[in-house]
Structure 1
Amino acid sequence: MNKLVVGNLVHRPLRSVISAFAVAIEVIMILSITAILMGKLNGFKDRTNGIGMDMFVRPSTTNNFIGMSPAGASIKVADIIAKIPHVAVAAPVNIQITSSFDNIYGIDFQSYDALLPFVFQKGGPFQGPYDIIVDDYIGAGKNIGDSIKVIDHTFRICGIVNHGKGGRKFIPIDTMGKITFTEGKATAFYLRTETPPKYEDQVKQDILATPGMQSYNVVKTQEYLNAMTPDTLTPAFNIGLEVVIGIAVVIGFLVIFQSMYTAVMERTREIGILKSMGASRTYIVAIVLSETGLLAACGIILGIGASFALSGVLNAKFPTLDFVINIPYVWKAIVIAFAGALLGAFYPALKAARKDPIDALSYE
C-alpha cells in the first residue's frame, strides 16, 4: 500500500505540492497570530519582571493595562507609601501610550533605579529635563547625544541600557507631566518590599489602612502577571484566534477536498482494478486517507519550518516585535491541520470505496 500511495502522489507532483502548501499555509496562519499575540503578552510579562518591583499601587480607576488610563494619582502619594513599614522603595511612574502603542515611562530616576538598577551600555542618568534613556533595541545604531522625538518633543539620548526594565523609553517624570498636562501626577507606584514576599500581605493591609488610601488598588506583581492570560486579559484574543483558525481550516479543507476528489475521479479505472482483485472498501478508504495523511505531514513540517524561519527573520529585523512561536500552539496547529486534511479527504475516500468495480472498469 505504501508504494501505491507514494506512487500516486509522485505521479501528480504539482497537485501534491499545492495540497502540501495549503496545509503549510494553514499552519503558518495559526502559528503567526499566536506568535504575535502571545509574544506581546509574554514580552510584557518579562519586561514587568525586569522592573524589580514586588507590588504596585494604583488608583481604582486604572485598568489592567497600566498606561491606558490617565495619570490620576498625586506623586506625593509615593512619600506616604515609602513611610509604610517594610517598604524599601516606592517609585512613582507616569506611563503614556502613544498612538503607535509605544510605552513611554516618566520616572523619578533615583527611586526607579533603586527597584533594580539600570545596566548602562552607554551614557548614564538624566542630566537635564529633556534627556531620555532608551533600551538597547531602541538605541541600536545610536550614540549618546543623538536626538529622538517622543510625544512630539525632541529629547537627547543620555543613556542606553539593557532591555527589560518595563518600557523602552524613559524620561523624567516632571517632564512627562509638563508635556502631557499631568503635572504632579502618577499612573502607579512601584514598590520593593523588604525580604519579599515575607511582608507583602502586611504592607498591603497597612497601605489600605492609611487615611486616603482606601480606594487604591494594591496588587502583588506575581499575582498580577499570573492573571495576565488570554482568557482573562481580553476576549478579543480568543475570538481573533478562532477566526484565524476557522479560515485556515476552511482553506486546508477545501484544497484537500478538491485535490482528493479530483484524484478519485481520475483513478476510477485504477480503483475498479483494485476492487476486482479483491480490495475491500476499507482498503480503498485507507489508500485515500494515507495519501492525505502524507500530504498533511509534509505540509505541517513545511509550515512549522517556515514559521520558525519567519520568527527568526522578524526577530532579527524587528527585535521589538516580540514574534515568538508558542510551543503548545505548535501541537495544536499539528492536530488542527491534520484533522482538517483528513476531514477534507473523507468524502472522496467514501466515494471511491462505493464505486462498483464493473462500472469502474468500463469507465472512460
Structure 2
Amino acid sequence: MNKLVVGNILHRPLRTVITALAVGIEVVMILTIVGVMIGTLQNSQSEHNGIGADLIVQPPSASFITGIGGAPEPIAVAGVLAKLPHVAVVAPVTTNLSTVGSVENIWGIDFKSYNALKPFVFLAGGPFQGPDDVIIDDIFARTGGGRHVGQTLIVEGRAFKICGIVQHGKGGRKFIPIKTLDNIIGNPDHASLFYIKSDDTKNNGLIEQEIKNTPGLATFKVQTMEQLVSLLTPSHLPGFQAAMDSVIGIAMIVGFLVIFQSMYTAVMERTREIGILKSLGASKLYILDAILREAGLIAAVGTIAGMLMTLAVRAAIWHFNPAFSFGIPGAWWGIAAAIAVVGALLGSLYPAWKAARKDPIDALAYE
C-alpha cells in the first residue's frame, strides 16, 4: 500500500509539489498571523513587567491598552498620590500612539521618577540633558542599520538627539521628556497615567483604598500591574480573536480547496488504474485508504515545508526589523499542523469516496 501511495505521488511530481506548497502556505498564514498578534501581546506583557511599578492609576475613561486616550489628567495628580501612605514613588507618564512615519507608541516620562520605579540599564549614553533628547532601547537601536548616541532621530515629525541607549523591557522603545511630548500633542502639564511603587507590595490594597477615598480620585481606575498584564490576552482585546479566527478560517478553506481539487483530478486521471485494482480484488475500503494516505502524506510534507517557511519569514522579519514582535507559542505549531492535515483529509474524502464507488467494468473500459 505504501509503495503504491508513494509511487502515485512521485508519478506526478509537479502537481505534488504545488499541492504541498499550497498546504505549506496555509501553515505559514496561520503561524504568521499568530506570531505577529500573539507576539505583540507577549512583548507588551514583558515590557509592562519590566517597568518596576506595583500599581497603575488611570483616568476613569482610560483604556487598559496604554497609548490610547491622550493625556487627560493634570500632572499635579502625581503630587496628590505621592502624599498617600505607603506610596514610595509616583511616576507620571504620557503615552501617545504616533502615526508619523510609522505606527508606534511614544513614551513621555519624568526621568527621575520613572527611573526610581526600576533603574534604566544604560548600554550607552545617559539620561536626558535637554528637552529634545530621546532615549531608545537596544532593540530599536539595532534597526535602520544601527543607531548610536548623538545621532539625530525623528520623533513625531521633530528632530531629537539620541542621548542614551538602554536595555529593553522598560515599557516602550522611545522615551522623550514628558513636557516635550505634552507640548507636541498640545496638552501641557498633563499625563496619560501614573505608575506607583509601594513601600511594600502587601500594602497595594491599602493604597488602592486610599486613592478611592481621596476627593477627585474616587472614579480613577486603579490596578496592580499583575491585573493589567492579565488583561493583555486575545479574549480581552476587541476584535483581536475575531481577526485571528478569520485568517485561520481563510487558510483552512484554501488548504481544503487545493487538496480537494488535486485529489479529485488525480482520481479522474486514474480511473483505469482504480478499475484494475478493483478487478484484482481491492475493496472499497482499500481504495479509500489509498487516496486518504496519499492526501495525508502530501499534507505532512506541506506542513513541514510550511513550518520551515515560517522560520524563514521570522528570520527575515527580524533581520530587517529587529524591533518587530513575532512570537509563536509552542502549542500553535501543533495546532497549525493539525489544521493543515485534518483539512487535507477532509478535502480528499469526496474524491476518495468517488474512487471507491467506481464500477470496475466501467473503469476498465474508460479511456
Q: What TM-score, normalized to structure 2?
A: 0.96
Task: Note if 1:132 corresponds to 2:137.
Answer: no
Task: Note if 1:5 corresponds to 2:2.
Answer: no
Q: Deviations over 1:51-71 (max 9, x none)?
A: 111110011021122221021
- 1:279 equivalent in structure 2: 282
Task: State the 1:329 CA deviation.
Answer: 2.0
Counterpart amino acid of residue 254 in structure 2:
I
Counterpart amino acid of residue 144 in structure 1:
V
Hey, what's the Cα distance between the residues in 2 that align with 1:257 and 1:175?
60
- 2:226 equivalent in structure 1: 222
8 Å contact kept, 2:140–2:322? no
Q: Deviations over 1:240-264 (max 9, x none)?
A: 2222122212221121111111111
- 1:263 equivalent in structure 2: 266
Task: Note if 1:142 corresponds to 2:142.
Answer: no
8 Å contact kept, 2:39–2:328? yes
Task: State the 1:86 CA deviation.
Answer: 1.6
- 2:114 equivalent in structure 1: 112
Hey, what's the Cα distance between the residues in 1 that align with 2:63 and 2:223?
12
Q: Deviations over 1:130-173 (max 9, x none)?
A: 11111112333223222111112211111111111111111111
- 1:231 equivalent in structure 2: 235
% identity of equivalent residues: 51
Hey, what's the Cα distance between the residues in 2 that align with 1:244 and 1:300?
17
**Which range moved further: 85-94 or 240-249?**
240-249
- 1:25 equivalent in structure 2: 25
Hey, what's the Cα distance between the residues in 2 that align with 1:17 and 1:144?
50
Task: Note if 1:205 corresponds to 2:225.
Answer: no
Hey, what's the Cα distance between the residues in 2 that align with 1:45 and 1:356?
61
What is the root-mean-square deviation in Å for CA atoms of aligned residues?
Answer: 1.2
Counterpart pick for 2:348 among 322, 345, 349 = 345
8 Å contact kept, 2:89–2:198? yes
**Which range moved further: 352-361 or 281-290?**
352-361
8 Å contact kept, 2:110–2:178? yes
> Is there any run of 5+ residues in structure 2 with no aligned partner, and where?
none
Task: Note if 1:82 corresponds to 2:82.
Answer: yes
Q: What TM-score, normalized to structure 1?
A: 0.97
Task: Note if 1:60 corresponds to 2:79.
Answer: no
8 Å contact kept, 1:145–1:157? yes
- 1:94 equivalent in structure 2: 94
Hey, what's the Cα distance between the residues in 1 that align with 2:314 and 2:270?
41
Q: Deviations over 1:290-343 (max 9, x none)?
A: 000000000011101111221122123211110222322222211211111111
Matches within 5 A, 1:302-313: 302-313=305-316
Partner of 2:67: helix, strand, or coil?
coil
Task: State the 1:270 CA deviation.
Answer: 1.4
Hey, what's the Cα distance between the residues in 2 that align with 1:121 and 1:224?
29
Hey, what's the Cα distance between the residues in 1 that align with 2:267 and 2:131?
74
8 Å contact kept, 1:92–1:186? yes
Task: State the 1:36 CA deviation.
Answer: 0.9
Matches within 5 A, 1:144-223: 144-196=149-201, 198-223=202-227
Q: Deviations over 1:219-254 (max 9, x none)?
A: 1111111122111112x2222222212221222112
